[in-house]
Amino acid sequence: MKRSLLYIGILFSAVSCGRNDHALQSGDLLFQAGESSDMTGAITAATGENGRLNFSHVGIAVVKNGADSVLEATTNGGVRLTALPEFLARSAKIGGRPAVVAMRLKDTAGVCEAVRRARSHLGLPYDYSFRPDNGKFYCSELVWECYRTSDGSPIFTARPMNFRAEDGTLPQFWTELFARRGESVPEGVPGTNPTTCRRRERSAKYTAGSKRSARQSHRDSRAADRHSVLRRHSPWPG
């Protein structure tokens, strides 16, 4: 399906949101480059793209009574509701600001229902098995499960999962994790990750894995935006 997300902001520099069309809204997706950890490193090694800001986590914005929070599936508490300042504080930093990108469905008709579905999963455990339909959720699996079209089909596409680094090796984190669980690595099992959820359609000129500088990659990304179905907004101050 055609990409159905649009940018509403990049690199949060403030928590407050004004009352306007570009302010943070319930159901917006917050893509986060997490602080360095073994798990974050393993995720970005398997799903990241050279020369680009790589995201290891995604959450769902919830705005209610002036308080902003994030519905997310984390290794610390499973499916939980986190205050937005806490979510931003544990992000990686670029120029001292949290590396978080906010995106919004272009068709927001079913967003309230998506948030309701996500709320219904509060308290469920984190899915360390990375397998579907087991009553547990990892971060992008929660998004995949909750965001549906009017006919009930997922908005985001599940694809065969890859746990290997670019050189084909399996990071030690994954080897040890699944060994402890007595499970095989779910290589090739249908699933999602923050990068594929967020990824925009690009022309062949902007393919993943190109050896470009981060600055050139950003310029390329902006150029590709002009030919995609996404529009870019910058509502955040600073």
What is the per-residue burial (b if ≥16 Cβ within 10 Å, else e) of 57-73?
bbbbbbbeeeebbbbbb
28-82: pLDDT as tens digits: 999 998 776 556 556 555 555 554 567 889 999 999 877 799 999 999 999 999 9
Name the strand (E) or helix (H) holding 139. helix 139-146
DSSP label at residue 142: H
CB contact at 8 A, 81 and 62: yes
Instruction: Write down the pLDDT at residue 208.
Output: 24
Q: Of residues 21 and 215, which shows the higher confidence score?
A: 21
Where do we find the tokens 């929070």?
69
Cα separations in angstroms, 237 against 12, 23, 37, 100: 8, 11, 29, 14
Task: Please state the rounded mean pLDDT for residues 10-33.
Answer: 66
- pLDDT bracket for residue 99 (50, 70, 90): confident
Lowest mean pLDDT across 29-33, 94-98, 113-117: 94-98
From CA 31, how far away is CA 151, in angstroms rounded?
A: 26
Max distance between CA atoms of the chain, in angstroms, equals 50
Average pLDDT over residues 119-143: 97
Average pLDDT taken over every residue of the chain: 76
pTM for this entry: 0.75
Separation between Cα atoms, residue 32 and residue 55, nearest integer Å: 5
Sequence spans of domains, the chain: 5-206
- Does the domain at 5-206 match CATH 3.40.50.720? Answer given as no
pLDDT at position 111, please? 93
